């Protein structure tokens, strides 16, 4: 689903691409071999057969047969249209469970748009270039992630609108599509899965690990 690509702004550069169609799989294979040659020790167990296996599953190329990325920044209106397209795909799919693989800035925009009900992200200045759309709801208060009870939907629903999910994070969401009008569609519940965290927490953990290493080094020196 090409609408799942990352938000293109001054920090969101995961929305760029180089290949379309069948060339995507070829490039993945080439890049894996390149990484293996650049990191022979770290990737010593990665064989050519392993690379063939991971690139052998069928890939649905329907949404990337043409130039699928945008070299410029997303406008608020463009991002709104992407959200609308995606939410209709989810709404009218016959599947009970759908897995969306994408990027943190775009997933945050989904939360901003549909937590609390309705597509709340279109502003009057919709043609203005901007990295992130602004919600029409009240400003969100700053949250202390350390004291946050992520089991509380009330607390988690706020932080999902201001913080980015961490790398490889998994967020389970339940949408309510019971009413026909899109302005009433909403995320009624969400839960972080498999120990997933937010980007800010990842940075804090890395900082703690770095400090521990420094302290250990000082202790050895002493």
Residue 220 clears pLDDT 50, i.e. is over it = no
pLDDT (average), residues 171-175: 92
CA-closest candidate to residue 167, choices 195, 191, 207, 132: 195
Separation of CA 184 from chain center: 24
Q: pLDDT band at residue 172, thresholds of 50, 70 and 90?
A: very high
Rounded CA-CA distance 127/124 in Å is: 8
pLDDT score of 174: 92
Which pLDDT tens digit goes with each residue over 177-196?
988 888 888 899 998 999 88
Residues in the chain: 222
Q: How far apart are CA 80 and CA 153, in angstroms?
A: 25
Residue 20 has pLDDT above 60, yes or no: yes
* pLDDT value of position 173: 92
Note the pLDDT of residue 13: 61
Helix (H, G, I), strand (E, B) or coil at 18: coil
Q: How far apart are CA 194 and CA 42, in angstroms?
A: 26
Stretch 23-30: mean pLDDT: 88
Mean pLDDT of the chain: 75
Each residue of 169-193: b (16+ CB within 10 Å) or e? bebebebeeeeeeeeebbbeebebe
Cα gap 72→138, rounded to integer Å: 29
Cβ neighbours of 55 (radius 10 Å): 16
- pLDDT-derived band at 134 (thresholds 50, 70, 90) equals very low
Using pLDDT thresholds of 50, 70 and 90, give the confidence band for residue 170: very high
Q: What is the mean pLDDT of residues 166-183?
A: 89
Listed as own residue / partner, the contacts of 145-148 with beta carbons closer than 8 Å and 24 or more positions apart are 145/198, 145/200, 145/201, 145/204
Q: Mean pLDDT throughout 25-47?
A: 87
* pTM given for the model: 0.66
pLDDT of 39 = 87
**pLDDT confidence of residue 222:** 44
């Amino acid at each position: 689903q090409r609408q799942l690509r990352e938000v293109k702004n001054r920090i969101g550069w995961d929305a760029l691409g180089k290949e379309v169609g069948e060339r995507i799989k070829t490039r993945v294979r080439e890049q894996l071999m390149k990484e293996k040659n650049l990191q022979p020790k770290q990737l010593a167990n990665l064989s050519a057969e392993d690379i063939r296996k991971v690139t052998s599953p069928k890939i649905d190329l329907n949404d990337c047969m043409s130039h699928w990325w945008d070299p410029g920044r997303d406008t608020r209106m463009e991002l709104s249209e992407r959200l609308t397209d995606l939410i209709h795909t989810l709404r009218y799919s016959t599947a009970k469970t759908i897995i969306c693989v994408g990027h943190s800035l775009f997933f945050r925009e989904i939360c901003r748009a549909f937590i609390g009900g309705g597509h709340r992200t279109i502003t009057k200045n919709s043609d203005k270039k901007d990295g992130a759309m602004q919600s029409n709801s009240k400003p969100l208060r700053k949250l202390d992630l350390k004291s946050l009870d992520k089991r509380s939907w009330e607390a988690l629903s706020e932080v999902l609108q201001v913080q980015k999910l961490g790398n490889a994070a998994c967020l389970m969401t339940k949408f309510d599509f019971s009413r026909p009008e899109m302005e009433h569609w909403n995320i009624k519940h969400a839960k972080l899965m498999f120990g997933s965290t937010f980007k800010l927490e990842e940075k804090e953990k890395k900082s703690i690990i770095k400090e521990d290493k420094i302290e250990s080094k000082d202790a050895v020196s002493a």
